[in-house]
Amino acid sequence: MKCSTGKRIYDSEVQAVDALVDIRSRNNYPPNSGPINVYKCEDCSGWHFTSRPPQHEILDRPDIQKKIQSDSEAAYWERKLRF
């Protein structure tokens, strides 16, 4: 199934939030930029990322912030050390 927005479709809010944390871990986004929340699409009934506020509350949790920081650092070194 495709969405008229052209965005990737997630089947549930849980999947979208998990992917949001993952993408923020892999990319070094400054605070309040890049995807910061998820929403249910009226066109496809799937879930998408958005960069519009408010930021999803999971991104404020200390354990999630620590995971994002740790995974982001690992991704940085992985990219840097690729042959």
For residue range 19-68, what is the model confidence (pLDDT) as tens digits? 999 999 988 888 768 999 999 999 999 999 999 999 999 999 999 999 99
Residues whose CB falls within 8 Å of the CB of residue 46, separated by 6 or more in sequence, listed in order: 1, 3, 9, 10, 11, 40
Does residue 8 lie in a domain region?
no
For residue range 68-81, what is the model confidence (pLDDT) as tens digits? 999 999 988 988 89
Does residue 41 lie in a domain region?
yes
Does residue 1 lie in a domain region?
no
Look up residue 40 and give its amino acid: K
Domains contained in the chain, number: 1
Q: Is 77 left (phi over 0), alpha (psi -120 to 50) or beta?
A: alpha
User: In angstroms, rounded to a whole number, what is the distance separating the alpha carbons of residues 74 and 79?
Assistant: 9
Does residue 6 lie in a domain region?
no
Does residue 29 lie in a domain region?
yes
Does residue 27 lie in a domain region?
yes
**Residue at token pair 């940085």:** 76
Cβ atoms of residues 65 and 71 within 8 Å: no
Domain that holds residue 56: 13-80
Does residue 5 lie in a domain region?
no
